[in-house]
Structures are given as C-alpha cells and as structure tokens.
C-alpha cells in the first residue's frame, strides 16, 4: 500500500483546529512540514503526522501541543 497523504483541511480536521492553525504551527517549527506533490498541491504524509503525534503524546495519552 502506498503512502497516504492529507490536505491542510483534512489535517486541521484531524486535530480539531482551523487550517490557519496548521500553518502557524509550521511557522513556529512545531509541526511537520508538508511535501509538495505538484505546484500548488501540498500534503502531509500520514506517517509523518503519526510520528509527530507519538512525539507530542504525554504520559496521560493526551496530545500536548506547545
């Protein structure tokens, strides 16, 4: 099975935030950068998001965001 990619809208929905928040997190260097699949088409590989989640998950199992 190939890599699964999410759009900024799908990524924002995954974390219950707005699309702008995702881009702010990237600007703060606190979130995985998207990959460019073609001009004007950026997506996040789900495995990158899962790795970020694992790194950010605290002892209580809740996602902790700086």
Q: What is the CA radius of gyration of the chain?
A: 12
Predicted confidence (pLDDT) per residue in 17-39, tens digit: 999 999 999 999 889 999 999 99
Contact 9, 45 (CB under 8 A): no
* % of the chain surpassing 90 pLDDT: 74
CA nearest neighbour of 57 among 48, 65, 49, 47? 65
pTM recorded for the entire structure = 0.80
| pLDDT score of 62 more than 90 | no
- Contacts of residue 57, defined as CB under 8 A and 6 or more positions apart, other chains included, come to 63, 64
Query: Mean pLDDT, the chain, as a whole number?
Result: 89
């Amino acid at each position: 099975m190939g890599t699964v990619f999410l759009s900024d809208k799908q990524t924002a929905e995954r974390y219950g935030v707005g699309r702008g928040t995702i881009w702010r997190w990237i600007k703060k260097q606190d979130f995985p950068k998207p990959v460019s699949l073609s001009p004007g088409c950026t997506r996040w590989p789900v495995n990158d998001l899962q790795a970020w989640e694992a790194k950010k998950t605290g002892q209580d199992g809740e996602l902790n965001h700086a």
